[in-house]
């Protein structure tokens, strides 16, 4: 039996041995533990668009184009030496007040370089003062009103890869003229977008005396009938209608025109707002009883095969879509895809996420080989529009609802 002194010595020894063993184990574990690798801080890109608007597919088209490009960029190493791009979306539901609030929130967001917009020009026009005050870089892949870019900002923080009304109206009117339809009626939405198109149409007609606007009719958003305005234009001598509308009102018009006697159905040449929603579903079989065509800047059916295959491989990584026929809002997808790649190049050239530095870099990029075309350069200090009249084409809806190019020149 141990005496008390020996027992105490034995306990002390045991504690020393146990402590030594724990120290050795702790040291070994600490040496074996991997050194934590810093997670790269993402570069944020915003999308402010009409996600919650009934029957609209335009915001989703822009998002699909962005996610396709962002996935491709991130798989290639991201930007700025390994930083991934992260997309943040906000819904303005086509309401300017919501859009302004979204821009304010985006402007305060750490690491956010730029905001992409959606289809609706009136929303973006109302956002312009907030964009200017916050010096928020804005990328426009769909909206077409001239004053979005011609906004009086110095420096200008808005860049567009899309149609603009001063290109759209001449193309629509010239198409009518080439079809022998020299007397046209304008049917326009009573918004800043409609007024932008009226100014462009009047300028074109003033310079081309062989075509005439017989009358202009206005309608309001969500109007449930347009046939009285249509008939007034026909009675004024119109041979064709040039329409500025989104999908809802255009579908109303098409159904009403199809219900008229065939001799009273005039050709309709439409701006592209109709392609940003479920127009074919809303118009139904009536669409194929009316001569209806729509302006576009791009068609996947006419794309360069090599570039198209490259795009489709990257699209397949973020979407179940495998056929170009299944791409809704094709211009929104293609525009945002090219514009995101151009923005990524500008971020790398700037070497920073500083919005002013990226803005300046956008004006200095030399070239980009995109899906829609080769941009050489995409933008300049004097030109914040990436597309021009050479990209314009007319398209029609096939019986299956797919939009395909026409033979118009």
Lookup: tokens for 232 = 């007034």
**Residue 221: what pLDDT?**
86
Chain-centroid distance of CA 310 in Å reads 20
Could you tell me if 341 and 370 are in contact, meaning their C-beta atoms sit under 8 angstroms apart?
yes
Residue 324: per-residue pLDDT: 98
CATH code given to domain 43-163+302-387: 3.40.50.2300
At 99, list the tokens: 């859009």
Of 76, 135, 45, 149, whose CA–CA distance to 357 is shortest?
135
The residues spanned by each domain of the chain are 43-163+302-387, 166-296
In tens, the pLDDT along 349-390 reads 999 999 999 999 999 999 999 999 999 999 999 999 999 999
Q: Which two three-digit tokens encode residue 166? A: 């001063």
pLDDT of residue 165: 97
Distance, in Å, from the CA atom of 176 to the CA atom of 162, rounded to the nearest integer, reads 22
- Residue 396 parent element (H or E): strand 393-397
Write the CA distances from 259 to 27, 61, 371, integer angstroms.
85, 32, 40
> What's the pLDDT at 37?
64
pLDDT of residue 34: 64
Q: Do domains 43-163+302-387 and 166-296 have the same CATH topology?
A: yes
Residue pair 45/116 in contact (Cβ under 8 Å)? The answer is yes
Q: What is the pLDDT of residue 31?
A: 55
pTM metric for this prediction: 0.90
User: Strand pairing of 292-296 and 268-270?
Assistant: parallel
What is the phi/psi pair of residue 331, to 5°?
-65, -40
Pairing relation of β-strands 403-405 and 393-397? antiparallel
User: What is the homologous superfamily of the domain 166-296 according to CATH?
Assistant: Response regulator (3.40.50.2300)
Query: Do the Cβ atoms of 269 and 176 come closer than 8 Å?
Result: yes
Report, as ranges of residue numbers, the positions in the chain whose pLDDT lies below 50: 1-10, 12-14, 16-18, 20-22, 24-30
């Amino acid at each position: 039996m141990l005496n008390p002194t020996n027992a105490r010595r034995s306990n002390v020894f045991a504690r020393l041995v146990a402590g030594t063993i724990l120290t050795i184990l702790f040291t070994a574990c600490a040496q074996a533990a991997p050194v934590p690798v810093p997670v790269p801080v993402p570069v944020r890109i915003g999308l402010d668009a009409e996600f919650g608007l009934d029957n609209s597919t335009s915001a989703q088209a822009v998002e699909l184009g962005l996610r396709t490009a962002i996935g491709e960029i991130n798989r290639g190493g991201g930007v700025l030496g390994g930083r991934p791009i992260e997309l943040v979306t906000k819904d303005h539901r086509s309401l300017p007040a919501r859009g302004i609030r979204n821009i304010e929130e985006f402007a305060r967001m750490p690491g956010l370089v730029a905001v992409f917009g959606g289809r609706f020009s009136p929303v973006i026009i109302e956002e312009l003062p907030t964009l200017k005050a916050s010096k928020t870089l804005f990328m426009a892949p769909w909206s077409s009103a001239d004053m979005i870019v011609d906004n009086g900002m110095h420096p200008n923080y808005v860049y567009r890869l899309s149609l603009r009304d001063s290109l759209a109206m001449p193309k629509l009117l010239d198409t009518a003229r080439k079809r022998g339809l020299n007397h046209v009626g304008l049917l326009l939405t009573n918004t800043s977008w409609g007024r932008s198109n009226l100014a462009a149409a009047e300028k074109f007609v003033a310079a081309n005396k062989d075509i005439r606007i017989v009358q202009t009719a206005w309608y309001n958003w969500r109007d449930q009938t347009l046939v009285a305005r249509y008939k007034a234009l026909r009675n004024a001598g119109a041979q064709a209608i040039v329409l500025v509308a989104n999908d809802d009102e255009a579908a109303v018009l098409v159904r009403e025109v199809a219900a008229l006697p065939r001799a009273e159905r005039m050709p309709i040449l439409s701006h592209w707002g109709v392609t940003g929603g479920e127009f074919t579903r809303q118009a139904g079989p009536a669409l194929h009883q009316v001569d209806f065509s729509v302006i576009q800047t791009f068609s996947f059916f006419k794309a360069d095969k090599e570039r198209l295959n490259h795009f489709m491989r990257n699209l397949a990584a973020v979407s179940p879509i495998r056929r170009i026929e299944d791409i809704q809002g094709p211009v929104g997808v293609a525009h945002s895809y090219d514009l995101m790649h151009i923005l990524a190049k500008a971020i790398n050239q700037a070497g920073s996420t500083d919005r002013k530095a990226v803005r300046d870099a956008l004006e200095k990029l030399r070239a980009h080989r995109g899906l829609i075309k080769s941009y050489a350069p995409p933008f300049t200090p004097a030109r914040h529009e990436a597309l021009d009249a050479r990209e314009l084409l007319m398209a029609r809806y096939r019986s299956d609802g797919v939009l395909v190019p026409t033979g118009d020149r």
